[in-house]
Amino acid sequence: MQRFILSKKNPIALIGAILIIIAFTSKLAFKNIDVFTWSLIIASILGIAPIAIQAYQALKVKVVSIDVLVTIAVGGAFLIKNYEEAAIVTFLFLFGAYLEQRTLNQTRSAIKELTEIAPESALKQMENGEFEEVEVDEVDVGDILLVKTGAKVPVDGTVLTGEGHINEASITGESVPVSKKKDSKVFAGTILENGTIQIVADRVGEDTTFGKIIELVEEAQDSKSKTERFIDRFSKYYTPAVLVFAFIVWLISRDIEMAIIILVLGCPGALVIGVPVSNVAGIGNGARNGVLLKGSEVIHDFSKVDAVVFDKTGTLTIGNPKVADIEFYTNNTHEVLAYLASVESESDHPLAKAVVEYIGDTEFYTVESTDVVKGGGIVAQVDGHRVAIGNVALMKQENVDLDEKALVDIARFEQKGNSLVLTSVDGKLQVLMGIRDQIRPGVKEDLQKLKALGVKRLIVLSGDNQGTVDLVARELGLTEAHGNMLPQDKAAYIEKLQAKGQIVAFVGDGVNDSPSLALANIGIAMGSGTDVAIETSDIVLMNSDFSRLPHALGLTKATANNMRQNIVIAVGVVVVLLASVFLSEWMNMSIGMLAHEASILVVILNGMRLLGYKLR
């Protein structure tokens, strides 16, 4: 019976409203006091039933809830035969609960949207080579799947054949489609806007990036911050205190009506709901914008961050060395680059790969012989020519003349932090290339935004040499730069900052920097949502999108401010209402309950503003 009555709270509220309208219509229009009285009595009894059940369930677990206060207040109103206020209070309480639940459901729309766009089926290649539609749960790692234009990618995978553009907004928050071709990574839940691709399944089900996003946001929404835990404890003692206070007022004044009004006005509903709704809305906004905030505690800590520490490679920089500067000392550039590509294409060295990638499609010559010079480079015979590729020391060993212009160029390239690749043909310098790990586009602007948001220290820690790290720091305007640091050195540096009382965030790729990610107050992972990044960090920037970092900080600050606003609103309303009991003539149960429910809606609507937050 209890479950049935609780399931009918909304219809009971509707019936209560109709009975109240009938009551006042019969009194004002027809002067029928009997219909007026009995309509209000029935409305009161119906309305108090679910509230009293909830109060009883709370008392069974030794919690004096808001429902207990309202039940006692309505019972007291019945004792003094104030049926009018009893009926109105129960209706407003139930109607307020209905509005509260409806509004809260909207704040959880981010999760609802995620689960609704989760892929349900896939075109799987069967043993006969044909593709058949199957449930996504039937896909295993290693299966080959076909994705057509307009379809959702069913799993995390790698493109085998075909090309197309994929909308990855559900993963990264970025609406601009991303080009995909052979060997490109794709994510479950993203949409192929054009083209047709075949993929091999790398991660399926809950192990996909999309599955982990849903799991993380659900966990985050269920977690509680220090503020929420404090308010829970506060409410546990506050509600009985209101009961005691109302009893003392009655003992002193012998005014039962005043005591009942205090019970209604003292309900801390807005205080209890205000902080969670801010957290849920903030986490929901992050999920929509490619930022995973793993819990309410993260919001609290990150909003107060003093120092943000960055790994360099793969975080501030792209992570792959590329040709950044080039000088030619010959007019026959096409042939020289062809010689260079022919030799370097046979090497697995990162610099060699950068050279080949830069040159691109070209004519390849047969490399007749090669001689690797340790610590210098490589000397080869190509098309009857002696081709030397390497550093300045190799050029000197090959007796290559480096004129004044070449020496000036070399010094200039080194000042920019380049690794040098010089190429000579038959003893004459032909090409000078500067190769470096280039800074991510837009990072400098994003770091300025962090400073504008109040971050005092921006620090880079890297295993690279100090000179290279200093160059990056100067270019980006960082506060400090420390090179030659092993993972344990980075962790020790973070501990030193924390020992000074600073709240430290560490931004890394989530793999080699996992000790620092775990140690920092807030670990922020780049790394396209990899398993290590998601498990180790507190915040994940999906698809390694650095531009999401200022949004994440701005969002947590806005969420923390929103929580404080809701606490002030909730406490302020209760103080004003209780003061008005003693200082005014107009305050009664109905007005108090109306103000109480209005304050709940105000804090919910204030919290919902975070769903539309954008960094200005």
Catalytic residues: 311
State how far the Cα of 405 lies from the Cα of 424, in Å rounded to an integer: 15
Tokens of 183: 């060997």
Return the SS3 of 489.
helix
Residue with tokens 């959702």: 152
Return the SS3 of 200.
strand
Indicate if the alpha-carbon torsion angle 516, 521, 526, 528 is positive or negative. Answer: positive
**525 with 510: CB under 8 angstroms?**
yes
Q: In what order do the strands lie in the sheet with 428-439?
A: 317-328, 428-439, 419-425, 385-390, 377-382, 367-373
* Cβ contacts of 7-12, under 8 Å, gap ≥ 24: 8/50, 9/50, 9/94, 9/97, 9/98, 10/94, 10/98, 12/46, 12/47, 12/49, 12/50, 12/94
Residue with tokens 């109060």: 55
Which amino acid would we find at residue 476? L
**Residue closest to 267 by CA, chosen among 606, 613, 589:** 589
C-alpha 589 chain-centroid distance: 43
**314 with 525: CB under 8 angstroms?**
no
State how far the Cα of 382 lies from the Cα of 424, in Å rounded to an integer: 12
**364 with 340: CB under 8 angstroms?**
no
